[in-house]
Amino acid sequence: MAEIIIDSYRCSGCGTCVEICPEVFHMNSMTEKAELIAAAPLVTDAVWQAAAFCPEKCIEMRE
Ligand code: SF4
């Protein structure tokens, strides 16, 4: 199963991933960075789409 990694250093907090896939991503209101809701979510098409549309390209999938 693939693992989803968000590079919070590069995340600009734009919220695109949350808009595309709110089942998996949410914004941390303290840090204003995206985070995973669950530790090991399923990598759905929406997750791939969120990664593709992330303007900072900071969502990575690792096998
Ligand atoms: S789309 Fe990318 S830059 Fe924007 S909030 Fe999500 S992880 Fe951060």
Strands 59-62 and 33-36: unpaired
Q: Give the mean pLDDT of 30-55.
A: 96
Distance between CA atoms of residues 34 and 13, nearest Å = 6
The pLDDT of residue 1 is above 80: no
**CA-proximal residue: ligand 1, atom 3 (nearest):** 11
Instruction: Summarize pLDDT for 23-41 with one digit per residue, the tens.
Output: 999 999 999 999 999 988 9
Q: What's the 58 CA to ligand 1 centre distance in angstroms?
A: 7
* Domains by residue range for the chain, with CATH: 3-62 (3.30.70.20)
* Residues 12, 14, 18: CA angle, nearest 5 degrees: 120
Q: Over pLDDT 70: what percentage of the chain?
A: 100
Which of 5, 27, 59, 60 has most ligand 1 atoms within 8 Å of CB, for mutation?
59
